[in-house]
Amino acid sequence: MNTNRQTAKTTILYSRLSRDDLLQGESLSIANQKQILETYAGQNGCTPHLHLSDDGYSGTQWDRPGWQELLAMVERDEVGAILVKTMDRMGRDYLRMGLYREMLAEKGIPLIAVSEGWNSKVADDDFTPFKEIISEFYARDTSRKIKAVAHARKATRANRCRTTRFTVTENRPMTRTSG
């Protein structure tokens, strides 16, 4: 597997998580992704290697610092291979994912999704673009759900803040007025 020893290029172990799981420092998911990638790299002789990660960044954003560093290294011809846990860790925009897969293929850089058993050097799976489309729709759907929950919480807080006044008039029952 290791073509990197001959050329001294670096294998990038890339991790991404869209939101922090409330830990100080690195999130648990990023740590798990790194462990999976580190194990694969060790078992397959992918040396030297470098971890790059974007913790707290959406896969629909492409201005992530770790991703930008990865692209800069690709442009400087310093990358021998890129390992990700799953393709959606790279990103969730199927058009850009296709462009990046093509760019890496043109430069002869293998992209390996370790947990999916996918390696761009072995075979290009016809199903991959469909998985990327589904991944993008998943990101959009999740975003809509988060916005709906935020809107519902805002409405609930507004209802809690509303005051109710009771008016008592002589010989009449209490009447309720909202205000």
pLDDT of residue 132: 55
* 84 and 24 part of one domain: yes
The last residue of a domain, from among 98, 124, 150: 124
Task: With CA atoms as reference, report the closest residue to 15 among 3, 4, 31.
Answer: 31
Which domain CATH number covers 40?
A: 3.40.50.1390
Q: pTM for this one?
A: 0.66
Please report the pLDDT score of residue 21 as a whole number.
Answer: 44
> Does one domain contain both 31 and 97?
yes
Domain edge (last residue) among 84, 99, 124: 124
- Structure confidence at residue 22 (pLDDT): 44
CA angle 60–61–66, rounded 5-degree value? 125
> Are 141 and 64 part of one and the same domain?
no
Q: Which is more confidently placed, 117 or 107? A: 107
Q: Are residues 119 and 151 in the same domain?
A: no
* Same domain membership, residue 162 and residue 116: no
What is the residue range of 107's domain? 4-124
Q: Tell whether 170 and 82 lie within a shared domain.
A: no
Are 25 and 113 part of one and the same domain? yes
Number of domains in the chain: 2
Q: Identify the DSSP state of 56.
A: T
- The pLDDT assigned to 97 comes to 86
pLDDT digits (tens, 9 = 90+) for 28-47: 789 999 999 999 999 999 98
- The packing angle between helices 128-161 and 94-106, to 10°, is 140
As given in the structure block, the two tokens for residue 108 are 């002869």
Kindly list the strands in the beta sheet with 79-84, ordered across the sheet, starting from the edge strand earlier in the chain.
49-55, 10-17, 79-84, 111-113, 118-119
Six token digits for residue 54: 């974007």
Residue 95 CB coordination number (10 Å): 11
The maximal CA–CA distance of the chain, rounded, in angstroms, is 98
Q: What is the Cα–Cα distance from 93 to 90, expressed in whole angstroms?
A: 9
Beta bridge partners of 55: 17
Q: Does residue 7 surpass a pLDDT of 70?
A: no
Distance CA 81, CA 4 (A): 8
- Do 24 and 42 belong together in one domain? yes
